[in-house]
């Protein structure tokens, strides 16, 4: 049997690129082609899971408490479908499983979920259900200290989702600050589908890698549609935003903002 050589380098040699994903699936939905491109050219790609994703309304749907338009029967029946009751912690863990699989398919070097950021008051910030702009700034600075030559990418600061906008605004603040010790020089923002802010543009894929990149992103999508309740897989991504995942399967290209 002939086995194809994986185009993603086993040992990336390029400088680190850090993607801050507000929720598990944002890295694939709005950043996937950019992540895959960096992975293919040999850069060390990190994905930071900013929040635990536990507040999603899909938890109630899987627990049989509300209906869901994507699910063919609309309602879930947990006993019949062998879905255990999903606490916020269990739901977050299920989302993490989707994230880890998707990131592997995108060629990500390391996924950061259990991070801890020391704060000035002596406490530590760990991954919350929601994040504020000041705490998001501390998170970015924490990783900038660990990877001083890294590039930093996240969602656009004008996004309508408060966690998307918080991490985006934090990176924006650190891009324009006059405090040289806090300034992030290499930074970009990825835009949610349907939004076209001034200064944004479609992310250009290199012609010789476009087919591979698109294939990697389409593969990552499958992590968010896997349905196997007895194995703890609940297609949370597809329950949440099926139209956006279908856009990716149709070849959607990410939109990027390069300047604050």
pLDDT at 1 over 80: no
The pLDDT tens digits for 19-29 are 999 999 999 99
Residue 252, pLDDT score: 87
Domain that holds residue 82: 14-257
Residue 1: inside a domain? no
Residue 2, pLDDT score: 78
> Is 54 strand, coil or helix?
coil
Q: How many CB atoms lie within 10 A of CB 244?
A: 20
pLDDT at 4 over 90: no
The pLDDT tens digits for 186-220 are 999 999 999 999 999 999 999 999 999 999 999 99
The pLDDT tens digits for 68-126 are 999 999 999 999 999 999 999 999 999 999 999 999 999 999 999 999 999 999 999 99
With contact defined as beta carbons under 8 Å apart, do 12 and 153 qualify? no
Q: Judging by beta carbons within 10 Å of its beta carbon (0-12, 13-18, 19+), is residue 8 exposed, middle or buried?
A: buried
Q: Which string of b and e fits 203-217 if b means at least 16 CB within 10 Å?
A: bebeeeeeebbbebb
Residue 176, pLDDT score: 98
Output the CA torsion 248→34→197→194 (10° steps).
10
Beta strand 110-112 with 200-202: parallel, antiparallel or unpaired? unpaired
Mean pLDDT over residues 246-260, rounded?
93
Say what the pTM is: 0.97
Residue 164, pLDDT score: 98
Residue 5: inside a domain? no
Residue 21: inside a domain? yes
Residue 190: inside a domain? yes
With contact defined as beta carbons under 8 Å apart, do 162 and 28 qualify? no
Count of structural domains, the chain: 1
Residue 107: inside a domain? yes
Report the distance separating Cα 206 and Cα 195, nearest Å. 24
Confidence of residue 251 (pLDDT cuts 50, 70, 90): confident
Residue 39: inside a domain? yes
Residue 4: inside a domain? no
CATH number, domain of 173, equals 3.40.50.10320
Residue 62: inside a domain? yes
């Amino acid at each position: 049997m002939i086995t194809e050589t994986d185009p993603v380098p086993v040992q990336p040699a390029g400088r680190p690129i850090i993607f801050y994903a507000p929720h598990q699936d944002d890295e694939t939905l709005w950043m996937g082609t950019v992540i895959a491109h960096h992975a293919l050219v040999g850069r060390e790609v990190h994905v930071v899971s900013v929040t635990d994703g536990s507040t999603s309304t899909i938890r109630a749907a899987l627990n049989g408490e509300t209906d869901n338009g994507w699910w063919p029967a609309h309602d879930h029946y947990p006993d019949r479908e062998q879905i255990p009751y999903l606490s916020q912690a269990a739901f977050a863990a299920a989302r993490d499983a989707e994230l880890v699989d998707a990131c592997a398919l995108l060629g990500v070097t390391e996924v950061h979920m259990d991070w801890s950021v020391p704060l000035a008051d002596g406490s530590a910030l760990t991954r919350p259900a929601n994040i504020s702009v000041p705490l998001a700034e501390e998170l970015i600075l924490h990783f900038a200290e660990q990877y001083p030559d890294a590039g930093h990418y996240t969602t656009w600061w004008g996004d309508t989702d408060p966690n998307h906008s918080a991490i985006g605004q934090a990176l924006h603040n650190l891009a324009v600050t006059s405090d040289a010790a806090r300034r992030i020089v290499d930074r970009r923002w990825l835009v949610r589908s349907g939004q076209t802010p001034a200064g944004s543009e479609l992310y250009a894929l290199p012609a010789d890698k476009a087919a591979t990149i698109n294939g990697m992103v389409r593969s990552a999508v499958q992590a968010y549609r896997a349905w196997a309740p007895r194995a703890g897989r609940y297609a949370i991504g597809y329950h949440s935003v099926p139209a956006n995942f279908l856009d990716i399967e149709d070849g959607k290209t990410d939109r990027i903002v390069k300047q604050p």
